[in-house]
Amino acid sequence: MSNKTFYVTTPIYYPSGKLHIGHTYTTVAADAIARFKRFTGYDVRFLTGTDEHGQKIQKTAEAQGLEPQAYLDGMVEDIKRLWNRMEISYDDFIRTTEDRHKVAVQKIFEKLYAKGDIYKSEYEGWYCTPCESFWTQTQLLEGNKCPDCGREAQLAKEEAYFFRLSNYKDRLIEHFKSNPKFCYPEARKNEMLSNFLNENLEDLCVSRTTFDWGIKVPFDTKHVVYVWLDALCNYITALGFMSDDDSEYQKYWPANVQLVGKEIVRFHSIIWPAILMALDVPLPQQVFGHGWILFGDDKMSKSKGNIVYPEPLIERYGIDALKYFLLREFTFGKDGSYTNRNFLGRLNSDLANDLGNLVSRTVTMIEKYSDSEVPSPKVKGGVHDELSIEAIRAYSEFEGQMDELQFSEGLESIWKLIRRTNKYIDETMPWALAKEEGKKDELDTVLYNLAEAIRIVGVLISPLMHVTSKKIFEQLGITGQQELLTWESVQEFGKLTPGTRVSKGEILFPRLDIDSEIAALEEIFAPKGEEAGQKPLEHKEEITIDDFDKLELRVGEIVDAQKHPKADKLLVLQIKLGSEKRQIVSGISKHYKPEELIGKHVVVVCNLKPVKLRGIDSQGMILAAVNDDENKLVLPAVEGIESGCEVS
Ligand code: MSP
């Protein structure tokens, strides 16, 4: 194993809901880095996990009638299933409820307390007793109301432990300035320096007593450790920091890159390094704050019903389609927007047209014009050399871009080679060369160069799209030839051995009909039932067709409508039913004026037992669709059907 190590981490996810493509984004990026570094010879450690303590998790579990641990076990299983389904190559998965983490966090807390970096004091804030939550003055609504429940909060004091964050302000600024890539990209660094590090950096409250779902402060067990202090430490506790065996910590720490979304950069580039400084532990080389994936222009959120989950996309289009889109569409570091149309557009143009077509055309031509064997190249110079130059350019650009985490540009460098290779086919026209006398050498050269370019593409994309890359190698017949699949093997053009047998496999990415796919995705992602904020339907007892047959439903025409003399809600309707006439009293006066009803055709329940409603006879009932709070009522349309006709 290599002695060059590389440690990459994702944030640990809250297992309080299903993960969506925003979460998937961080993990896909970390996976791409991990795979690329392994591929280029590093001994890689890739860590991910779940952040399982805190009041929110406790409350969510309670709301489902479960013990927190039982609730979490189920949720974490789902998260692991997703990562396995996506073939995420993590080396370790840490849960903050594991002993290895809890014990180490307690030791860290004790150490910081012993050093004087954690001290006991009082926390003062606005306390909402029913919610058991402290709020700051600015969080309160209308002066003193709890933002969660709207009840009055009281000014209260509570004993708490504090971390001396203020002591580290100067060292942090110094670190930011002398390590310009520590907090990255530039915009995030500037935001931290100007919004947080130029102000009074206050000490941080790092314990709570208002709930108990957390790691207990070992020497004062009515306190639990603040969830962010607990969570941030995962990056070193997972490596065995302060345990009997800290060899992995010695080997991999400090992390080379810690990926986080932009909203948690502050925790990772200010609080986390200050804790590490207090522990005398080196800081990670880089905290990279990526942007958000928005849905259209909006933040994805359950209440807006605009969440895109990865599973349906993977099932329908494959793992690589989603990974390619996430890495290619957005500039890593900036916000971007997901729409079904831009997702599908990428699939068609880049994957089906550019890459899929190139592979399928090339393999087909080798089968047809060279008996399925890669021929040997005979001609040098001109357009043939241009292709090899382009392949080397792609390789060297890609390496630099991956090192800078510029996945989108990296993929674009490979796609330039793909597009150039497609153009090479159009320029050299192998189908014409095959027909012309004396062009065999030229044809062989073109076919060889195409196969070799595809091999290089397959190798280059392998850290980002390993499923597709394997399929390409299978079609080229080089799966077993390890020396042709390595990173070193693409530093030179011409390594593919003539005589290799190709065989056409399934189409890599079928062309999609965008409009019908959009319709299918809208159907899949449309919020349903409770997710859309609707209450579950309450159904009545089942009936048989014989029960239904007892009803006599007919179309009736309203010929007269008057207000009920004694009840505002009611109208007195005269209804023509074929040759008969009926009087029906109906509660629709809030929704229809009497004159609007004249001439309307409605459905009448004819055999309902007659009753008197506020003194007036009613012989039946008319059907109406009404929503739950009865603020909207509509008479079903049966216009054009003659009165008296049966409805069944
Ligand atoms: N538990 C904390 C992290 C603790 S790390 C010591 C947390 N969890 S989270 O589940 O809410 O978010 C995890 C990551 O997913 C964050 O980096 C966050 O930015 C990312 N994303 C969540 N929604 C996102 C998008 N819509 N777009 C891109 N990433 C976003 O924060």
DSSP 360-385: HHHHHHHHHHSTTB-------STHHH
Residues 6+ apart with CB under 8 A from 102: 96, 215
- Pick from 10, 12, 20, 26 the residue to mutate for probing ligand 1's pocket: most ligand atoms within 8 Å of its CB: 26
Residues 6+ apart with CB under 8 A from 54: 211, 213, 214, 227
- Which residue owns the Cα nearest ligand 1 atom 19? 261
CA separation for the pair 278, 544 (Å, rounded) = 74
Q: Which helix (H) or strand (E) holds 338?
A: strand 336-338
- Which residue owns the Cα nearest ligand 1 atom 5? 11
Statement: residue 321 has pLDDT above 80: yes
pTM higher than the cut 0.85 = no
233 carries a ligand binding annotation: no
Statement: residue 88 has pLDDT above 80: yes
Confidence of residue 1 (pLDDT cuts 50, 70, 90): low
pLDDT recorded at residue 531: 53
The pLDDT tens digits of the residues spanning 380-401 come to 888 889 999 999 999 999 999 9
Enumerate domains of the chain plus CATH numbers.
342-491 (1.10.730.10), 545-647 (2.40.50.140)
Amino acid identity of residue 306, one-letter, is N
Residues 6+ apart with CB under 8 A from 543: none
Nearest atom within ligand 1 for CA of residue 234 = 6
606 carries a ligand binding annotation: no
Assess whether the previous peptide bond of 510 is cis (omega < 30° from 0).
no
pLDDT recorded at residue 587: 87
Nearest atom within ligand 1 for CA of residue 51 = 1
Nearest atom within ligand 1 for CA of residue 293 = 27
Reference 638, options 619, 617, 624; nearest CA is 624
Reference 474, options 508, 511, 430; nearest CA is 508
The pLDDT tens digits of the residues spanning 142-200 come to 888 988 788 899 998 889 999 999 999 999 999 999 999 999 999 999 999 998 898 78
- Which residue owns the Cα nearest ligand 1 atom 23? 22
Q: Return the SS3 of 123.
A: strand
pLDDT recorded at residue 193: 94
Statement: residue 132 has pLDDT above 90: no
pLDDT recorded at residue 540: 77
173-191 in b/e burial notation, b at 16+ Cβ within 10 A? eebbeeeeebbbbeebbeb
Instruction: Quote the ligand 1 centre to 301 CA distance (angstroms).
Output: 13
Token pair 């996506």 in the structure block, residue: 86
The pLDDT tens digits of the residues spanning 547-585 come to 899 999 999 999 999 999 888 888 999 999 999 999 999
* E strand spans, 564-647: 571-577, 580-586, 601-605, 611-613, 616-618, 621-622, 625-626, 633-634, 646-647
Instruction: Quote the ligand 1 centre to 28 CA distance (angstroms).
Output: 13
Instruction: Quote the ligand 1 centre to 583 CA distance (angstroms).
Output: 63
Query: How many CB atoms neighbour CB 424 within 10 A?
Result: 20
Instruction: Quote the ligand 1 centre to 231 CA distance (angstroms).
Output: 13
Nearest atom within ligand 1 for CA of residue 14 = 10
The pLDDT tens digits of the residues spanning 485-496 come to 999 999 999 999
